[in-house]
Amino acid sequence: MNVNLAAQIEAVLFVAAGPLSLERLASITQQDSLAVKAALNHLEADLARRGINLSHHDDGYRLVSTPEAAEAVRRLLEDQAKAELTKPALETLSIIAYRGPISRTGIEAIRGVGSEITIRGLLSRELINISGKAKEPGRPPLYSVTPQFLDLFGLDHLEQLPPLEEVADAS
């Protein structure tokens, strides 16, 4: 068993925006599927002693917090939701306000980085919502800003946002 491979997989799953299939993990680690499966089994056994679990569903593998940690995780997420908006959150909100409804992949294409955690935070703060499904394969959710977003920024409607050209010139 290649312990280094298990560590690589753990790191990849930690930073991944979503679940990764066995085939994708094999491609990323440049290992065959049997070696990756053995490493996943090793990782799952190793994680069983900690606050993280390896979750496997049809859409792939991902790291999740254990049920025993749920209350502490909930408190952290509530604290984060109450915190000031971060630069990534403001960037994501701007993209959704100007380009929405827009999918996560559309947001990430503009930002150039993963946005799943930022989107989750904005959803929990009710500054954005899922306003539909894209017509592309997989029908990913489309995000739009909410009335709470308008209230936070003192707007009655999105047409009150400054023209995008003015925003781009100011940055």
CATH architecture, domain defined by 3-68: Orthogonal Bundle (1.10)
Q: pLDDT tens digits, residue range 130-143?
A: 999 988 888 999 99
CATH 1.10.10.10 range(s) for the chain read 3-68, 84-170
**Average pLDDT of the chain to the nearest whole number:** 88
Between helix 104-111 and helix 116-124 the angle, nearest 10°, is: 120
CATH for 84-170 is 1.10.10.10
Q: pLDDT tens digits, residue range 104-156?
A: 999 999 999 999 999 999 998 899 999 999 888 889 999 999 998 888 777 88
Amino acid in the structure at residue 168: A
* Per-residue confidence (pLDDT) for residue 119, from 0 to 100: 95
Q: Tally Cβ neighbours within 10 Å of residue 14.
A: 10
What gap in Å lies between CA 77 and CA 71, rounded to an integer?
10
Residue 164 has pLDDT above 80, yes or no: no
SS3 assignment, position 48: coil
Residue 170 has pLDDT above 60, yes or no: no
Residue 9 has pLDDT above 60, yes or no: yes
The CA–CA distances, whole Å, from 4 to 22, 38, 51, 87, 140 equal 17, 12, 21, 34, 34
Place of tokens 């599927």: 33
Q: How confident is the model at residue 157 (pLDDT cuts 50, 70, 90)?
A: confident
What gap in Å lies between CA 3 and CA 139, rounded to an integer?
37
Residue 81 has pLDDT above 70, yes or no: no
Closest CA to 65 of 55, 56, 77, 79: 55
* Per-residue confidence (pLDDT) for residue 22, from 0 to 100: 96
Instruction: Indicate left, alpha or beta for 35 from its phi (over 0: left) and psi (-120 to 50: alpha).
Output: alpha
Q: Is the entire prediction scored with pTM above 0.75? A: no
Residue 167 has pLDDT above 80, yes or no: no
Q: pLDDT tens digits, residue range 38-80?
A: 999 999 999 988 899 999 988 899 999 888 988 888 788 767 6
Within its chain, how far is the Cα of 128 from the centroid?
Answer: 14
Say if CB 95 and CB 107 are below 8 A apart.
yes
Amino acid in the structure at residue 60: G
